[in-house]
Structure 1
Amino acid sequence: MRIGVIGAGAVGGTLAALLASAGHEVEVTARGAQLDAIRAGGLRLDGGWGEHLARLTANATLAETPELVVLATKAQDAATALAANATRIGSTPILVVQNGLGGLRVAHEEAPDSPLLGGLALFAASYLEPGHVTVTAALPVIVGAGPGADRAQLESLAAVLAEAVPIEVTDDITGAQWTKLLINHVNALPAITGLSVQEVVADRGLRRIMTASMRETVRIARRIGVRFGRVQGVSGSLLGLVGALPLVLGQQFPRLLARRMGAVPNPGSTLQSIRRGQLTEIDYLNGAVVAAAAEHGLTAPVNAAIVALVHEVERAGTFLSPTEVASRIIL
């Protein structure tokens, strides 16, 4: 199948390399040093799914019309990327693989004629240097039908993707996105402090803040009628406990997530963006909780404070100490 991957960063690069290794004809879009590196020497993938050197067609925008588009840009870049590739996309099905909420809505606005699938990359990958991506946790991709896609299209495209990467199909992509959003709360505090997820969770004060942001998210989601889907063994009933328990007990949840990551320090995608001097997705992660609360006349003060600190680090380029973070986020 001809597959166009828009955005060849950690997630898009992983999917592109694996799809190419499975025999598909893959074209990727990239920018700057990443584009130059892929053109010159291919895309090297190593880690959890073995070593692959994918010789990919790489351009700033798609040069060919694909049979499937994988949108794997940062959430804030999605609309611009889809608009730039609109003539090649046409009515081609699009798999939107992004963190946070709202990706399917944006894709539907920019490509209203395309059937859409939502995708959640559960695997962890790091974009180490131009042309090189490492998979640190080899986990599945969850896919579900979005606007314009029926069950037959979902199963057909899921079968194609399953040739390259483990796939789980869900009947409720929105519920799964909310659960993944909650899991992704591990990303913000590393971006503020420069520490790995494991180091953040090991710090008592930071772990308490992370737990508070998760508890606040669960409580808001429940009030606005969200039903959490099961993701990575995390069920709605477990998240219900996170929302109900006092902080001292709820801290077992981030501890569980950190243990699952293993011993290799995991920086999280938001810290990776900070280190590359790029704007982060924080407005689509913890910021999505703040926005969802506001739409229903509610507030999310813990998540709002975290978003503000990530933006501060983006502007200043200086990380904050755990003590300073604890002094500025009042629980």
Structure 2
Amino acid sequence: MRIAVIGAGAVGGVIAALADRAGHQVAVTARGAQLDALQQRGLHLSGHWGEHTARPHASAALEERPDLAVLTVKAQDAHIALAENAESLRGVPLVVVQNGLGGAEAAAAQLPATAVVGGLALFAASYLSPGEVSITTPAATYLGLPAVRLDPAAQAGSADRVAPANPTAPAPGDAALRLATATLGAFMPIEVTHNFAGAQWTKLIVNQVNALPAITGHSVQNTIADPRLRAVLTDSMREAVGVARARGVHFETLLGLSDPLLRVFAAAPRPVARLLPLLMSRRVGKTPNPGSTLQSIRRGQLTEIDHLNGAVVREAYAARLEAPINARLVALVHRVEAEGAFITPTEVARAV
């Protein structure tokens, strides 16, 4: 099968390498040094799912129409990437693997002739250097169909949503979901969820671990091990859970987190609640995990923080609430982006 991966970074690189190892005809899009490396040396995968050097067809934009496409660029780059590849994607099932909220809905609105499936990569991958990606924590990728679509105001940044015009009609993405599940599931762990919105929110809680590494320059494990930073992380997670509950979200069970557990976590005394990040750190494993946001910082790229902690802030606003801790974390990440210097844990704890 012809599989295209739009955005061969850490997550996209892993999917492309695994598809190549399974014998598929793989095309990827990339930029700069990554594109040069892929064209000259190929794509080398290492880590928990073994070693493989893939030789995908690499270009700045897709040159042929695939049978299945996977979008793995950061949320802030998705609109441009889809516009650049719109002709090649016309009528092609598209899996949108992104953090944050609303990515699949936005892609479906931008490409109305394309059946879109939402994807959440729960495995942790690192972009080591151009042409080199590694799995630091193995886990499944969840696929599902968004239960709602974004209205025009939401596509402009509002968190308001509307239900489908006919919620009992078969979803147009059903066939695409079956194809994506069968194809990707043959070479990587795949789980299907019927509560994709809840899964997005659970992943958003997990992704709370991304901000502090990006701010301090330390790994996920080291930030959680620091009592000062763990207290900040706990408070930001509890704030996010509160916002989700106000928005009527039922969390999907992912990576050891569930709706009942997160409700208890939000209500527990703070010293007890701080145990949850420690449990999350154990699931990450011993291999230092920088988190995707710190990886962007190290590459000199803008991060997706506005679609992680920033999404919590927007959802809070839609619920007529505030999310001051998440807002401060967003501001600190933007400060690191602008100044190019990490912030000490002491200063972070004082600022938040």
Instruction: Please report the TM-score for the alignment, with normalisation by the length of structure 1.
Output: 0.97
2:212 to 154, 172, 189: 189
45-54 vs 244-253, which moves further: 244-253
Mapped contact 1:214–1:242 kept (Cα < 8 A): no
Matches within 5 A, 1:230-269: 230-269=253-292
Mapped contact 1:117–1:145 kept (Cα < 8 A): yes
The 2-side partners of 1:150 and 1:110 are apart by 15
The 2-side partners of 1:109 and 1:261 are apart by 35
Instruction: Measure how far apart 1:153 and its partner are.
Output: 3.3
Q: Map Cα deviations across residues 248-296 of structure 1 (whole Å, 9 max, x no partner).
A: 1111111011111122111111001001100001000000000111122
147-156 vs 92-101, which moves further: 147-156
Q: Which amino acid aligns with 1:89?
A: L
The 1-side partners of 2:243 and 2:134 are apart by 35
The 2-side partners of 1:154 and 1:84 are apart by 24
Mapped contact 1:182–1:217 kept (Cα < 8 A): yes
Instruction: Measure how far apart 1:54 and its partner are.
Output: 0.4
Partner of 1:145 in structure 2?
145
Matches within 5 A, 1:216-227: 216-227=239-250
Mapped contact 2:181–2:190 kept (Cα < 8 A): yes
The 2-side partners of 1:216 and 1:181 are apart by 12
The 2-side partners of 1:237 and 1:151 are apart by 29
Secondary structure of 2:279's aligned partner: helix
- Name the % identity: 56
The 2-side partners of 1:251 and 1:142 are apart by 27
Instruction: Measure how far apart 1:156 and its partner are.
Output: 2.9
Instruction: Measure how far apart 1:109 and its partner are.
Output: 2.1
Instruction: Measure how far apart 1:320 and its partner are.
Output: 0.5
Partner of 1:34 in structure 2?
34
Superposition CA RMSD, Å: 1.0
Partner of 2:159 in structure 1?
none
Query: Which 5+ residue runs of structure 2 have no aligned equivalent?
Result: 150-170
88-97 vs 149-158, which moves further: 149-158
Q: Which amino acid aligns with 1:223?
A: A
Instruction: Measure how far apart 1:242 and its partner are.
Output: 1.6
Matches within 5 A, 1:6-45: 6-45=6-45
Instruction: Measure how far apart 1:20 and its partner are.
Output: 1.1
Q: Which amino acid aligns with 1:287?
A: G
The 2-side partners of 1:246 and 1:304 are apart by 23
Instruction: Measure how far apart 1:151 and its partner are.
Output: 3.5
* Length, aligned pairs only: 329
Partner of 1:174 in structure 2?
197
Secondary structure of 1:168's aligned partner: strand
Secondary structure of 2:329's aligned partner: helix
Instruction: Please report the TM-score for the alignment, with normalisation by the length of structure 2.
Output: 0.92
Instruction: Measure how far apart 1:113 and its partner are.
Output: 1.3
Partner of 1:282 in structure 2?
305
The 1-side partners of 2:253 and 2:24 are apart by 30
Mapped contact 2:117–2:173 kept (Cα < 8 A): no
Partner of 1:105 in structure 2?
105
Secondary structure of 1:136's aligned partner: strand
The 2-side partners of 1:240 and 1:270 are apart by 27
Mapped contact 1:70–1:94 kept (Cα < 8 A): yes
Instruction: Measure how far apart 1:138 and its partner are.
Output: 1.4
Q: Map Cα deviations across residues 147-173 of structure 1 (whole Å, 9 max, x no partner).
A: 754444322320110111011111111
Instruction: Measure how far apart 1:35 and its partner are.
Output: 0.4
Mapped contact 2:209–2:233 kept (Cα < 8 A): yes
Instruction: Measure how far apart 1:245 and its partner are.
Output: 1.2
Instruction: Measure how far apart 1:36 and its partner are.
Output: 0.5
Structure 1 consecutive aligned stretches of length 4 or more whose deviation exceeds 4 Å = none
The 2-side partners of 1:153 and 1:88 are apart by 16
The 2-side partners of 1:149 and 1:207 are apart by 43
The 2-side partners of 1:328 and 1:7 are apart by 35
Q: Map Cα deviations across residues 79-105 of structure 1 (whole Å, 9 max, x no partner).
A: 000001011111211100011112112
Q: Map Cα deviations across residues 210-262 of structure 1 (whole Å, 9 max, x no partner).
A: 00000001111101111111112211111111211122111111101111112
Instruction: Measure how far apart 1:115 and its partner are.
Output: 0.9
Partner of 2:118 in structure 1?
118
Mapped contact 1:117–1:149 kept (Cα < 8 A): no
The 1-side partners of 2:268 and 2:115 are apart by 41
Secondary structure of 1:225's aligned partner: coil
310-319 vs 228-237, which moves further: 228-237
The 2-side partners of 1:227 and 1:261 are apart by 24
The 1-side partners of 2:178 and 2:272 are apart by 40
The 1-side partners of 2:265 and 2:347 are apart by 25
Partner of 1:89 in structure 2?
89
